[in-house]
Structure 1
Amino acid sequence: MRKTTSTQGPRRRAAAAVALSGCLALAVPAGTAHAADPVPTVFFGDSYTANFGIAPLNNMDQPRGLCFQATENYPAVATGRLADRNITLDVQEDVSCGGAVIEDFWREQQLPFGAGTVPAQQDALKEDTRLVVGSMGGNTYGFTSILKQCSARLRGDEGAILPGAPVDAESPADECADFFTSGDGKAWLDYKAEQVGHELDEMFQRMSHRAPDAERVLVGYPRLAPQDTAKCLKAAPGQTERPFVDISEDALSVLDQAQKRLDDVMKKVAADDGADFVDLYDHTGHNTACDGANRGIGGLLENSEVELLGQSIPWYAHPNEKGRDIQAQRVAAKIEAVFNR
């Protein structure tokens, strides 16, 4: 059963000193960081935690290298920001891995290209873990399938290494706006939103079982397309392709609505389970893939910083370094707020 805030809240509020095992002082002026013992921390998640597309990568001499985890991903940058505020995270492990679905939190994840598996992410949690942070849900929701449903180019060789297939390959890509707003496409989105909710709840329960005193922070996804989709009709500075290549304006509006729905589901489950949520969608409306020099998201087929077999890999709408820094800033602020409450 779902853990309710009526059970979770008193444990964190009335017994905060126990929950944090003496790591944090309780009487702290609002907004003031303070020195503390290192807090045992685990980062988990998918390609948005791993920061796919940013080089260099961790573990390149191991199968885990195919997780495409950046050495300077937002967990690493947020940890540095917090250290500057006298909050030290003792990172027990960062198990974020590109392509992870929510179920990979409790089962082995299959790596691409038949490269084997990585252990369930929950295995990194220990009895003394006091903080668990990461982004998860986008792959279970099927966001890459939504992109491929709306882009003929991503259905071809240009999207070959992007996980997932179109929801219905028989339905033309240029009809995806209608596909997702009625009939089978709408039913599919309804089902995926419900699935994300149930599986995130299971994930939170597993976190609490393995690390009963840990604060849990779920990090949402940055906004990909702006409210003004007309901005997406021109290439970013230095680029020749439009940010979303062949995806039409009306389809981008549907994609944005689908992303907002995912954000709302994540936010609700976190609240219901007594966890904290970092809402990036609501704070990145001016840093979308279509915001030119201010973009925090790399275009679908814009070359990222990473190469595979000598070929540049596209960003596939993942945060670039500017976007990574926005993630890190908001995550660090949320962790600081958790510690100071």
Structure 2
Amino acid sequence: MPSAMRKSTTTSLPQRLAAAAVALGSCLALAVPAGTATAAPADPVPTVFFGDSYTANFGIAPVKDHDSERGWCFQTTKNYPAVATQRLADKNITLDVQADVSCGGALIHHFWQEQELPFGAGKVPAQQDALKDNTRLVVGGMGGNTLGFTSILKQCSDELRKHPLLPGEPVDPDKPAGECKDFFESEDAKAWLDYQFQQVEGDLEQILMRMSYFAPDAERVLVGYPRLVPEDTTRCLTAAPGQTELPFADIPKDALPLLDQVQKRLDDVMKKAAADDGADFVDLYDRTGNNTACDGANRGIGGLLETSKLDLFGQPIPWYGHPNDKGRDIQAKYVAAKIETVLNR
């Protein structure tokens, strides 16, 4: 069994939920379910945005709080929460944004635990600290980092293994990147994926539960991830206009369907977690099949090694498969529509 797999110790879902109950206190059972608005309120809606790099919109400039440690979250001033808020304001629906605590690299457990920033830059508080008794709307997405999606990408790419800014290590660094399809079809790799998804499921249950506890009157909207790989993977064999690298760099063509299957499974897990806990879900995967990283001028995802709008110490930073401006606007469109529906029901 690969060394990276041996490091994991499985914790059962009942154990995690029991631990959460202890952490939240005996009043947890009395937590009030998320309230239901009967109409879009005339007054501003106290709102908190949370999430990882797909909510922070890593790769889009300028970076918010660039002169403080929070700058290492790579949250842009024009991320989808900001754009969605403006879209809603244009319809006379005003969000009183109490905080946007989305941060690149965040795992689900960073909702309730502080997060260490890269290169020893410091720490940011648990994202749940932004919730208040009067918060009425909580919106954002997490899951990909807990799943270890960047580890999967690095398992399949020699080029990405050279990039320290991209968090995570290959699942098994001793296995060649060119053999990643065979690797992920092995029993050990399947067991690793099953464990990672079990972790995501349990952590999503806890995050939704904590939202209800700390913001008992809030509507909760969990936002999924846009699709990265198209159904027709031959589209990934052509570089985007003006680019020299393929959208998925040196990842073997036979591994691309695997990446898509993993992402679809994550989308299904997130959708089920929201449904099971009475939260709303924004399904971006099903709406972005024509805006993947392989869709040329229509791509909503920047290629793995395509230069983003950011640089670090004078060196350009790749998109690493994150939404570009077009993709950000797609995120904002569907998130704003869901918020409008939630506030009007």
In 2, are the aligned partners of 1:132 and 1:215 still within 8 Å (CA)?
Answer: yes
Runs (4+) of structure 1 exceeding 3 A deviation are none
Correspondence for 1:340 among 331, 341, 344: 344
Counterpart check, 1:218 vs 2:222: yes
Give the SS at the match of 2:155: helix
Give the equivalent residue in structure 1 for 2:247. Answer: 243
Kept in 2: contact 1:39–1:130 (CA 8 A) = yes
Shift of 1:181: 2.1
Counterpart in the other structure of 1:192? 196
Q: Secondary structure at the match of 1:277?
A: strand
Q: Which residue of 1 aligns with 2:126?
A: 120
1:159-174, aligned counterparts within 5 Å? 159-174=163-178
Pairing 1:175-190 to 2, within 5 Å after superposition: 175-190=179-194
Cα distance in 2, alignment partners of residues 180 and 222 from structure 1: 23
Q: Which residue of 1 is the match for residue 320 of structure 2? A: 316
Residue 336 (structure 1) shift: 0.4
- Residues 1:231 and 2:231 aligned together: no
The alignment of Structure 1 onto Structure 2 pairs a total of residues equal to 318
Structure 1 residue corresponding to 2:115, chosen from 84, 109, 118: 109
SS in 2 for 1:152: coil
Percent identity, aligned pairs only, is: 71
Q: Distance in 1 between matches of 2:41 and 2:122?
A: 42
The one-letter code sitting in structure 1 at the alignment partner of 2:285 is Y
Structure 1 residue runs without a partner (length 5+): 13-18, 29-33
Q: What residue in structure 2 maps to residue 15 of structure 1?
A: none
SS of the equivalent of 2:103 reads coil
CA distance in 1, matches of 2:79, 2:146: 22
Structure 1 residues 7-65: Cα deviation after superposition (integer angstroms, max 9, x where no partner): 99x966xxxxxx36xxx5x3x6xxxxx56210000000000000000000100110000
* CA offset digits 1:181-205 (Å, max 9, x no partner): 2221111111111110000101111
Q: Give the conservation status (yes or no) of the 8 Å contact 2:235–2:295.
A: yes
Residue number in structure 1 paired with 2:11: none
- Cα distance 1:332–1:180, how it changes in 2: closer, same or farther (>3 A)? same
Aligned to 2:47: 41
Cα distance in 1, alignment partners of residues 283 and 41 from structure 2: 26
In the alignment, is the contact (CA less than 8 A) between 1:35 and 1:86 conserved in 2? no
Q: How do residues 52-63 of structure 1 correspond to structure 2 at under 5 angstroms?
A: 52-63=58-69
Kept after mapping to 2: 8 A contact 1:179/1:186:
no
TM-score (norm 1): 0.91
Post-superposition CA distance 1:255-284 (Å, at most 9, x none): 000000000000000100110000000000
In the alignment, the residues of structure 1 paired with residue 328 and residue 265 of structure 2 have an alpha-carbon distance, to the nearest angstrom, of 22
Q: Which amino acid is the alignment partner of residue 146 of structure 1?
A: I
Contact 1:226–1:290 under 8 Å retained in 2: yes
| Partner residue in 2 for 1:135 | 141
Take 1:188 and 1:219, find their aligned partners in 2: how far apart are those partners? 25
Aligned to 2:277: 273
- The CA deviation string for residues 89-146 of structure 1, in whole angstroms up to 9 with x for no partner, is 0000000000000010001100000011000000000000000000100000001000
Native 8 Å contact 1:100 1:139 kept in 2: yes
SS at match of 1:48: helix
For residues 155 and 189 of structure 1, the distance between their equivalents in structure 2, rounded to whole angstroms, comes to 20
Aligned-pair CA distance for 1:82: 0.5
How far apart, CA to CA, are the structure 2 residues paired with 1:238 and 1:98?
Answer: 27
Partner of 1:31: none
Structure 1 SS opposite 2:48: strand
> How many Å separate the matches in 2 of 1:193 and 1:35?
38
* Aligned-residue RMSD, C-alpha: 1.6
- What code does the residue aligned with 2:133 have? E
Conservation of the 8 A alpha-carbon contact between 1:149 and 1:167:
yes
Query: Counterparts of 2:196 and 2:100 in 1: how far apart (Å)?
Result: 27
Amino acid corresponding to residue 242 of structure 2 in structure 1: G
Query: For 1:41 and 1:178, how far apart are their aligned partners in 2?
Result: 45
Matched position secondary structure for 2:255: helix
User: CA shift at 1:250, angstroms?
Assistant: 1.2
Equivalent in the alignment of 1:89: 95
Structure 2: unaligned runs, 5 residues or longer? 1-16, 19-28
Asked whether the 8 Å contact 2:48–2:139 carries over to 1, the reply is yes
Amino acid at match of 1:110: E
Q: Partners in 1 of 2:105 and 2:178 — Cα distance?
A: 26
| Deviation per residue, 1:158-180 (Å, 9 max, x gap) | x2210000000011111111211
2:41–2:343 CA contact under 8 A, matched in 1? no
> Residues 226-270 of structure 1, C-alpha deviation per residue, up to 9 Å, x if partnerless?
000000011000000100010111101000000000000000001
